[in-house]
Amino acid sequence: MYPKVRMRRLRGLKLLTESRVSVDDLILPLFIDETIAAKKPIESMPGQYRHPIEGVVKEVSEARSLGIKSVLLFGIPASKDETGTEAFNNEGVVQRAVRRIKQDIDDIVIITDLCLCEYTTHGHCGLIEDGQVLNDPTLEVLGKIAVSQAQSGADIVAPSGMMDGMVKAIRAKLDDEGFSDTAIMSYAAKYNSALYGPFREAADSGFQFGDRSSYQMAFANAREALREVELDIQEGADIVMVKPALLYLDIISKVRARFDVPLAAYSVSGEYAMLKAASEKGYLKHNDVMMEGLTAIKRAGADLIITYFAKEAAKVLKT
């Protein structure tokens, strides 16, 4: 007899769609540059800009009107130093931007990237001695940055420097200073990826010597990611993140299977740049590949997607 089960019978039924991207899942990263008066295009990320503080308010309200409910803020300070002191300046670029956004827009979840690399002259994510990134002395600085960001009104702080013990140190400091309601989204499994190239132009956070391999993970390792995530959960992370996303769907899937915590995936600058370049050349259909990629990230198990495509995807989802 001809097969009783015919998969084609139900194929294409919207009713049976297993994974959906919703605008509710999308987080838009934004770059705020203290030194500019008008928005400035980021060359390697067509469609993305550095914004001045006043301009970012407009950008957030535009995102909000498209249905986007959260933004992730990166700051480019006017001055950098060896230890990144601008990162915990209460009048710093991110702190001012958070206050300014909250003044105008109340129903937006503001996440602040918490790291040193945009604020240090050497561009590394921690304090440096003899060419080495120091783990433990960096933790104290991260705690200070967290408090300063929370004070300015950040809802969630997102430590991205891959220092051991960073979540524990930040949680303790936030609680001590009365910010027990400020959440932590930890870049728990952050790989040392060549896909961050365009971001370093965007955020002016390229390093002056060495690389990030002493603190970020090697791309060949998967079990190690599970240990990283487990530690961050034990230390008090409210949301854990895998980064990058599309080349790391196996990691997203493994983390999802093992842990019942909210999981974010960061679709990074290089993922964005690759599609922009290919679609500019006419080699790929932009919106189709964009939605396929975002859906794949959801299918792998992410609850949230940090993506530079957030506004474009929101427009597609509206129609």
By annotation, the residues acting in catalysis are 190, 243
Stretch that binds ligand PBG, among 9-17, 53-61, 199-207, 288-296 (CB under 6 A): 199-207
Of residues 148 and 269, the one with the C-beta less far from ligand PBG: 269
Q: Which is nearer to ligand PBG, 68 or 268 (CB)?
A: 268
Name the token pair of 154. 């950040």
Q: How far is the CB of 243 from Zn ion (least distance, A)?
A: 12
In the complex, the smallest distance separating the C-beta of residue 286 from ligand PBG, rounded to whole angstroms, is 18
CB of 23 to ligand PBG, least distance (A): 20
Residue nearer to ligand PBG on the CB measure, 23 or 158 = 158
**Per CB under 5 A, which of residues 146..175 are in contact with Zn ion?**
161
Q: Which is nearer to Zn ion, 108 or 111 (CB)?
A: 111
Contact flags string 211-240 toward ligand PBG, x per CB under 6 A: -x----------------------------
Could you say whether residue 115 binds Zn ion (CB under 5 A)?
Answer: yes
| 73 touching Zn ion, by CB under 5 A | no
Pick one of ligand PBG, Zn ion, none as the site partner of residue 196 (Cβ within 5 to 8 A by kind).
ligand PBG
How many alpha carbons lie under 13 Å from residue 167 in its C-beta half-sphere?
24
Give the span between the Cα atoms of 70 and 143, in whole angstroms. Answer: 23
Cα–Cα dist 62/60, whole Å: 5
Task: CB nearer to Zn ion: give 141 or 239.
Answer: 141
265 binds ligand PBG (CB under 6 A): no
Whether 133 and 94 have beta carbons less than 8 Å apart is answered as no
Site mask for Zn ion (CB under 5 A), range 182-211, x = bound: ------------------------------
Q: How far is the CB of 125 from Zn ion (least distance, A)?
A: 3
Closest separation in Å from C-beta 8 to ligand PBG: 40
| Shortest reach from residue 160's CB to Zn ion, in Å | 5
Verify binding: residue 117, Zn ion, rule CB under 5 A.
Answer: yes
- 115 forms part of the interface with ligand PBG (CB under 6 A): yes
Tell me the DSSP string of the chain.
Answer: ---S--GGGTTT-GGG------GGGEEEEEEEETT-SS-EE-TTSTT-EEE-HHHHHHHHHHHHHTT--EEEEEEE-S--BTT-GGGG-TTSHHHHHHHHHHHH-SS-EEEEEE-STTTBSS--SSEEETTEEESHHHHHHHHHHHHHHHHHT-SEEEE-S--TTHHHHHHHHHHHTT-TT-EEEEEEEEB--GGGHHHHHHHT---SSS-STTTSBPTT-SHHHHHHHHHHHHHT-SEEEEESSGGGHHHHHHHHHH--S-EEEEE-HHHHHHHHHHHHTTSS-HHHHHHHHHHHHHHHT-SEEEETTHHHHHHHHH-
**Binding test (CB under 5 A) with Zn ion, winner from 125, 128, 166, 302:** 125
Judged by CB under 6 A, does residue 196 bind ligand PBG?
A: yes
Instruction: List residues near ligand PBG by CB under 6 A.
Output: 113, 115, 117, 125, 160-161, 196, 199-200, 205, 212, 268-269
Instruction: List residues near Zn ion by CB under 5 A.
Output: 115, 117, 125, 161
